[in-house]
Amino acid sequence: MEVMVGMLIINIGVISMLTGAVHAHNILRSTELKERAFEEIRMELERWRGRVIDGRILTRERAGDPRGKIVYLEGNERSSNPITAIITYEPIAKVPDNANIERYEIEVKIEWEDFTTLGTSRVREMTMSMVMSEFDL
């Protein structure tokens, strides 16, 4: 009887450790996806920053892009299970300024599905914005 109780306690401990390891793995994977999404959204803002500095924002681009573009947080188009995200940006608005400087507010959003929770998926999103000034040289 004591051996059976001992085996039961050991089994409960092993199951708890395995469950904890799976949970920790899922949290780390979710964090990796968030970091990757942050890098993608930061690169998109940098691209727009360059466009503003260049002074080459087209009128149709100022209207925003609600459909967005697909980026890969993990894998690529040929991978068996890629994790994709959609980057969109709001209409680029001029910010009123008394100094007669052209200033634009750019807001970029990224959305992706996070499958790291067992049996469920959550739509995650991250938004970043920046105000840029355009100077005549």
Segments making up each domain of the chain, as ranges? 2-134
Q: Is the pLDDT of residue 114 over 70?
A: yes
- State the pLDDT at residue 118: 63
Tokens of 22: 């799976």
- State the pLDDT at residue 40: 94
**Predicted confidence band at 131 (pLDDT cuts at 50, 70, 90)?**
confident
Nearest to 104 by CA among 67, 58, 41, 71: 58
- State the pLDDT at residue 112: 92
Mean pLDDT of the chain: 86
Q: Kindly give, in sequence order, each residue whose CB lies less than 8 Å from that of residue 137, ignoring residues fewer than 6 positions away.
A: none
pLDDT tens digits along 51-68:
877 777 788 888 888 888
> Whole-prediction pTM value?
0.76
What length does the chain have? 137
- State the pLDDT at residue 54: 77
User: Cα(7)–Cα(52) distance, rounded to whole angstroms?
Assistant: 68
Please give the average per-residue pLDDT across 20-46, as a whole number: 91
